[in-house]
């Protein structure tokens, strides 16, 4: 819903702030008073094409700011998300356009700079315009299918079509993948077979390359390592070392015996220290023997055959050479072999898998086509109901010679999609015997606007939920009396589920509005500017009476105005 419009320096308007409410708002006033300027300003904020002539004479720039309060389910939020523009879904949406006197313009969404195209796209989502010179929305046949589905309550049939389409698409993709894999593997079959044979001959083990690399490093250092081990053995197990430890042990034992023989108590501190020293030397002799055994074991581990290093290197080089050829790590050769074997096996079983996939494709296609045919039938029935509803609206709007139909035409299978296999277009025949054509074939702007009103009224009667702001610009042009009253009645009905802004010269339309604004020129000479009066009930009655009687407002006109307002 549009809740505010701020206009600065646009044509006759120097500064104007308008607050909009729900329901039907009527804009009235003399021709040339500036009603179209308000629509031009709104169009400027919504991305319409503009030129420097909109900038008020003497001003450097014109600014139009439109403030909307879209519902939380409005498509504008997804659009902003896609464009990377910041927003808060439960806050207002502000569209602003700045137009310089040189014709250049800048666009902003929530004060974030953006392109004019973004404003235009948002404007399409937020505003529908129906008037003497343009009808935006209904003329685009691409919107007709969604409108018909909403009118006809086709959601269940559309969902079934979407689901079966998704299954069919997935089945086709699976079949294409299997066939592509089969063709690719078939081209590589000889090479894959040769690689598998080579790997089978090599028979690589899990982690073998890493173990061989470590062993190779050890073997490469074996000669110098053995020399160092031998030197260690000499230092630990030499006869001199063993003899000295033995002599030390015997000397300490003799010392202990002499001390106790001389009458020193065996438990005295002196004798205990000699005993401790003797025990330590004894342990050193045992540890020396253990060390010698450990050194011997280490030496035995490095005592390898001379050709072992050459064998290890040859095996490691062979593994790495095959790994380079396959583009994998040498330790991954067992996994590479398993993958090649799997691919070859898949090629052997490919025809069977493809045949099964083709069966699933055929089944999914049949299910989709059945769902699409059911949806087509539902749409055609809904189209007949919509045509009947529109027909009932045409005569009161002085369009009794026009005919309307909903053309639901089948699409080729290759053009079918998740929304079904139909092309939907609203078509009209304006004269008896004339062929049906698209809505753009209506030559008269007034007739087109009233036809759009009839169609929108029919759609709204089905309770289709919130609609965007709908603008009807002089939809009552060239009609009066009962026809003008019929226009007002339908605008009023339409405003129950939408926000409607009607620029009108018809008192019958203005009388049915929830809010009534009068646009007038104020000032004198070169200081003329447009002003907007929000009319209270008494002033509104006077304005409708003026519309009925002209320059001189009579009591009879006032009485007629009151009657219209309370009809």
pLDDT tens digits for range 286-304: 887 788 788 778 777 666 6
Long-range contacts of 338-347 (CB under 8 A, 24+ apart): 340/192, 340/195, 340/196, 340/199, 341/196, 343/185, 343/192, 344/185, 344/189, 344/192, 344/193, 344/196, 346/181, 346/182, 346/185, 347/182, 347/185, 347/186, 347/189
Q: Using CB atoms within 10 A of its CB, is residue 82 exposed (0-12), middle (13-18) or buried (19+)?
A: exposed
**Main-chain phi, psi angles of 67, to 5 degrees:** -115, 125
257: domain range? 186-339
**Residue 136: pLDDT above 70?**
no
Q: pLDDT averaged over the chain?
A: 85
Report pLDDT for 463: 56
* Cβ neighbours of residue 248 closer than 8 Å, sequence gap 6 or more: 281
**Residue 185: pLDDT above 80?**
no
**Residue 110: pLDDT above 70?**
yes
Tokens 């003026």 locate to: 546
Q: What number is the average pLDDT over the span 350-371?
A: 93
Q: What number is the average pLDDT over the span 341-355?
A: 80
Report pLDDT for 449: 79
Q: What number is the average pLDDT over the span 374-395?
A: 94
CA dist 27 and 66 (Å) reads 17
Q: Is residue 555 part of a domain?
A: no
- The per-residue pLDDT for range 452-496, each reduced to its tens digit, is 888 888 887 665 544 678 888 887 777 778 888 888 888 998 888
pLDDT-based confidence at residue 95 (cuts at 50, 70, 90) = very high
Query: How crowded is the C-beta side of 20, counted as CA atoms within 13 Å?
Result: 26
Q: Is residue 208 part of a domain?
A: yes
Q: What number is the average pLDDT over the span 536-564?
A: 89
Q: Is residue 74 part of a domain?
A: no
How many domains, the chain? 1
Calculate the CA dihedral of residues 389, 394, 400, 404 and round it to 10 degrees. -60
Report pLDDT for 132: 58
Among 6-15, 176-185, 365-374, which stretch is predicted with the lowest mean pLDDT?
176-185
* Cβ neighbours of residue 322 closer than 8 Å, sequence gap 6 or more: 198, 199, 202, 204, 330, 333
Q: Is residue 492 part of a domain?
A: no
Structure tokens at 391: 């027909």
**Helix, coil or strand: residue 217:** helix
% of the chain residues with pLDDT over 70: 92
Q: Is residue 63 part of a domain?
A: no
CA dist 179 and 350 (Å) reads 8
**Residue 98: pLDDT above 60?**
yes
Residue, of 464 and 232, whose pLDDT is higher? 232
Report pLDDT for 459: 82
Q: What number is the average pLDDT over the span 399-410?
A: 91
Q: Is residue 501 part of a domain?
A: no
Structure tokens at 279: 């025990």
Q: In terms of residues, how long is the chain?
A: 567
Q: Is residue 299 part of a domain?
A: yes
pLDDT-based confidence at residue 33 (cuts at 50, 70, 90) = confident
Q: What number is the average pLDDT over the span 389-402?
A: 89
Q: Is residue 22 part of a domain?
A: no
Q: What number is the average pLDDT over the span 92-100?
A: 95
CA dist 132 and 119 (Å) reads 23
User: What element of type H or E holds 254?
Assistant: helix 239-261
């Amino acid at each position: 819903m549009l809740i505010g419009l701020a206009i600065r320096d646009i044509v006759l308007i120097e500064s104007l702030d308008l607050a909009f409410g729900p329901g039907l708002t009527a804009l009235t006033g003399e021709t040339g008073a500036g009603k179209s300027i308000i629509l031009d300003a709104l169009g400027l904020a919504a991305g319409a094409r503009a030129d420097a002539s909109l900038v008020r004479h003497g001003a450097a720039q014109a600014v139009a700011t439109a403030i909307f309060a879209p519902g939380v389910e409005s498509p504008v939020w997804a659009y902003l998300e896609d464009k990377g523009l910041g927003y808060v879904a439960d806050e207002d949406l502000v569209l602003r356009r700045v137009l310089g006197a040189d014709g250049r313009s800048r666009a902003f969404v929530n004060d974030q700079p953006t392109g004019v195209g973004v404003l235009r796209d948002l404007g399409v989502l937020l505003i529908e315009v129906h008037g003497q010179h343009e009808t935006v929305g209904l003329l685009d046949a691409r919107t007709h299918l969604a409108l018909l589905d909403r009118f006809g309550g086709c959601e269940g049939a559309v969902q079934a079509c979407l689901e079966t389409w998704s299954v069919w698409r997935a089945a086709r993709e699976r079949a294409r993948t299997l066939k592509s894999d089969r063709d690719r593997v078939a081209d590589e079959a000889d090479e894959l077979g040769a690689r598998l044979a080579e790997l089978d001959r090599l028979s690589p083990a899990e982690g073998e390359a890493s173990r061989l690399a470590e062993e190779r490093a050890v073997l490469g250092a074996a000669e110098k390592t053995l020399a160092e081990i031998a030197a260690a053995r000499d230092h630990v197990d030499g006869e001199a070392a063993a003899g000295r430890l033995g002599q030390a042990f015997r000397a300490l034992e003799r010392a202990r015996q002499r001390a106790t023989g001389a009458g020193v108590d065996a438990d005295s501190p002196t004798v205990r220290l000699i005993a401790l020293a003797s025990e330590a030397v004894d342990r050193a002799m045992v540890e020396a023997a253990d060390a010698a055994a450990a050194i011997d074991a280490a030496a035995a581990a490095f005592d390898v055959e001379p050709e072992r290093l050459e064998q290890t290197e040859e095996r490691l080089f062979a593994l790495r050479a095959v790994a380079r050829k396959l583009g994998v790590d040498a330790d991954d050769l067992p996994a590479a072999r398993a993958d090649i074997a799997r691919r070859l096996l898949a090629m052997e079983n490919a025809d069977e898998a493809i045949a099964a996939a083709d069966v699933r494709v055929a089944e999914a296609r049949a299910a989709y086509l059945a769902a699409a045919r059911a949806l087509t039938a539902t749409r055609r029935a809904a189209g007949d109901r919509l045509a009947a509803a529109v027909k009932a609206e045409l005569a009161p709007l002085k369009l009794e010679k026009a005919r309307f139909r909903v053309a639901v035409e089948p699409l080729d299978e290759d053009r079918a999609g998740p929304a079904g296999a139909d092309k939907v277009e609203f078509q009209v025949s304006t004269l008896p015997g004339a062929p049906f054509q698209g809505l753009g074939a209506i030559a008269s702007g007034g007739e087109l606007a009233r036809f759009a009103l009839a169609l929108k009224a029919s759609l709204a009667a089905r309770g289709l939920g919130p609609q965007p702001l709908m603008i009807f610009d002089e939809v009552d042009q060239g009609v009066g009396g009962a026809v003008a009253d019929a226009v007002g009645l339908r605008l009023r009905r339409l405003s129950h589920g939408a926000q409607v802004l009607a620029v009108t010269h018809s008192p019958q339309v203005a009388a049915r509005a929830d809010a009534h604004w009068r646009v007038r020129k104020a000032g004198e000479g070169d200081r003329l500017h447009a002003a907007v009066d929000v009319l209270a009930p008494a002033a509104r009655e006077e304005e409708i009476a003026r519309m009925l009687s002209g320059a001189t407002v009579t009591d009879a006109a006032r009485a007629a105005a009151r009657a219209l307002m309370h009809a």
